[in-house]
Amino acid sequence: MRIAIGSDHRGGGAVDHLERHLASRGHEVLSVWPCDADSCDYPEPAYAVARAVADGEADLGVVICGSGIGVSIAANKVPGIRAALARDAHAAEMSRRHNDANVLCAAADRDDPETIAAMVDAFTATAFEGGRHARRVEKIQVIERGGDPRQV
């Protein structure tokens, strides 16, 4: 699987760990926004990762900032992206299984690199369940196009 990853300055250590971890699991890692400065603004890596996924350059994405909130908000502005902020491996799994999330967001200030790696493992190992959940994802897509999901 090809996974795009990026972070702001707060998530740099987690991304370094994650690159090695994913490669050891046989994934191809696309580092789209390495933060090499003392400060990087979180919308930039969020956009770069989300764009790589939306454009088909990556199958899934992972983006990390201090809280995970900013990157989640920014990534979700890219059409076709369903970015989910996970706090544990169960939430990461459910974001794929029920919401067909394609970008995982994590909090470097809250979670250590091993915990983030465990969340990413659950995220990448889980497929979308479909069924009744497909109808709900379709309604999210209607909202994204400016429509009213109550009309579907």
For 10, 40, 105, 113, the CA distances from 64, given in Å and listed in that order, are: 8, 12, 6, 11
Q: Quote the CA–CA distance of 11 and 20 in Å, as a whole number.
A: 15
Which residues, at least 6 apart from 38, have a Cβ–Cβ distance to it below 8 Å?
9
**Catalytic residue status for 65:** yes
Q: Quote the CA–CA distance of 78 and 51 in Å, as a whole number.
A: 7
The catalytic position among 9, 35, 98, 105 is 98
CATH numbers and ranges of domains, the chain: 2-151 (3.40.1400.10)
C-alpha closest to that of 135 among 115, 111, 152: 152
Q: What is the pLDDT of residue 35?
A: 76
Give 51-102 pLDDT, tens digit per residue.
999 999 999 999 999 999 999 999 999 999 999 999 999 999 999 999 999 9
| Joined tokens for residue 114 | 């091993």
HSE-CB for 132 with a 13 A CA cutoff: 0
The catalytic position among 9, 27, 35, 65 is 65
Average pLDDT of span 106-124: 97
pTM, entire model:
0.95
**Catalytic residue status for 17:** no
